[in-house]
Structure 1
Amino acid sequence: MTGAHPPVPALYSCRITHIRTAPIRHVMRHRTYLWLVDPDSPPVLPLVLRPLARFRPADHFGGSDPSIRAGLERFLATRGIQLGGGRVLMLAHARVLGHVFNPLTLYWCHGPDGALRCIVAEVHNTYGERHCYLVETDGRSGSEVPKEFYVSPFFPVEGAYRMRLPLPGERLDLTVSLHRDGTRPFTATVRGRGGPATPGRLLVAAVRHPWSTLAVSAAIRHHGIRLLLRGLPVYPRPRPRPHAQEGS
């Protein structure tokens, strides 16, 4: 798969929707903004705006790599994949005013010829754990991967995710759905529109969504309490595996 890469850095104003259909129906909608960046060339903001957007290696993969790209390449090496210097595009929340929470960070990984080689989906839960999925791409820039990581206390670690993850352009249109026993009890979508990450656009986004990443984690906990009060059963959290913490 080849084609022109979108200009980066870019900002996407978006709406995130979680639809739970079993055993009860529940919908969560949240508006926020996301960054699309080249981790080899993170955005350089005016000094006064830097607290609004920081991208730290400690916030991704094992947290001990010298750069985000190094952490990604270490993970890919464990899967036998080398990018040969090909470009990577990352969609994520930035660290805002010292806080960051990324339920899902996506990395579109290209080879030296510009062809899309794979996508890495890095998942964080609210327990401070992280795990990476290698998504082999097809014509729709997505595929199915077994669920291997505890995210919601209301779902066991079983089933499979079907991911449709086209590279963002002017529009952002992503879908991740959980499939279990012939059913689809959970679907998450991210829809939005993007444009250049100018200081003006960042200020507008920050005013509209102050403490954006803190709001994301607060919304997840708020809806979790609502589900608990509605009597949804809780599945115990399994003991974290070492590679889940290391992002591999």
Structure 2
Amino acid sequence: MPAGFAAAPTTAAPALYDCVVSHARTQPVRYSFRHRTYMWLVDLDALPGLPRPLRPLARFESRDHFDGTRPTLRAGLDAYLASQGVTPSDGKVLMLAHARVLGYVFNPLTLFWCFDRSGALRCVVAEVHNTYGQRHCYLLRTDGAARAETAKAFYVSPFFPVDGRYLMRLPVPGDRLDITVQLAREGGRPFTATLRGAHRPATPCALLRAAVRRPWSTAAVWAGIRRHGVRLYLRGLPVHPRPTHSPQEGIAP
């Protein structure tokens, strides 16, 4: 395997990860929180087939990603890669995301690990959604330690302007999920987010248990972001105006 490339994981997909999401701010005030949720790891060419009564608890729809107009998630990813001058992946593509639950979905971060036919990792696509209904994708090349770096180009939190760089660690999920995203700005790293979890086979029983423990989980993520935003605002953090967003080719506005 060439240096700097990861092999496709042997962990079976689809899988569920019981996750802890942590956010920590150090500037201009210290503030942190943890939130429990669950996420799916799926193969875009073999999306999970669930019994009919469970389908409202987990749907994966192409309208929720990229430009939202393609017939499949794989087609949406391929169109985005082509718009970036990248030949679409000819191997497995793994997606880590929230599923649509009871008709609603919100994915702050969706990750796509794109492999070639030999099983080598070609690239990672990080799709970011903000709470204003906008999307943006980052095309990433990871090194041998699964690290990637890219300029911030999308308005996410109203308490940070669109500047700085993201430093990411994006190992392919296996028995454990361990993702880190840091915002680096002049003078330090004021924000760190981590996503950690344990692999569970995506059986109907496992999905039911997850749904009972975390009902309407994806809506809870959106509500949690809003709730913590209000707390930060009440602590006096200045709000940076949201700039005009120019949609990327292959991405919904």
User: Normalised by the size of structure 2, how large is the TM-score?
Assistant: 0.95
Gaps of 5+ in 1: none
Q: Which residue of 2 aligns with 1:129?
A: 134
Distance across 2 between alignment mates of 1:171 and 1:234 = 36
Q: Which residue of 2 aligns with 1:49?
A: 54
Q: Which residue of 2 aligns with 1:217?
A: 222
Distance across 1 between alignment mates of 2:152 and 2:177 = 24
Gaps of 5+ in 2: none
Instruction: Verify the 8 A CA contact 2:82 2:88 in the aligned structure 1.
Output: no
Deviation per CA, 1:159-182, whole angstroms, max 9, x where unpaired? 000010000001000000000014
Deviation per CA, 1:55-113, whole angstroms, max 9, x where unpaired? 00000001111111111111111222224521100000000000000000000000111
The one-letter code sitting in structure 1 at the alignment partner of 2:182 is S
Which consecutive aligned stretches of 4+ in structure 1 deviate over 6 angstroms post-superposition? Answer: none
Q: Which residue of 2 aligns with 1:63?
A: 68
Q: Which residue of 2 aligns with 1:161?
A: 166
Local SS of the residue matching 1:221: helix
Distance across 1 between alignment mates of 2:89 and 2:242 = 38
Local SS of the residue matching 1:207: helix
Instruction: Verify the 8 A CA contact 2:83 2:250 in the aligned structure 1.
Output: no
User: Normalised by the size of structure 1, how large is the TM-score?
Assistant: 0.97
Instruction: Verify the 8 A CA contact 2:13 2:43 in the aligned structure 1.
Output: yes
Q: Which residue of 2 aligns with 1:93?
A: 98
Distance across 1 between alignment mates of 2:145 and 2:173 = 12
* Residues paired across the two proteins, number: 248
Q: CA RMSD in A?
A: 1.4
Change (3 A) 1:219 1:228: same
Q: Which residue of 2 aligns with 1:10?
A: 15
Give identity over the alignment, percent.
62
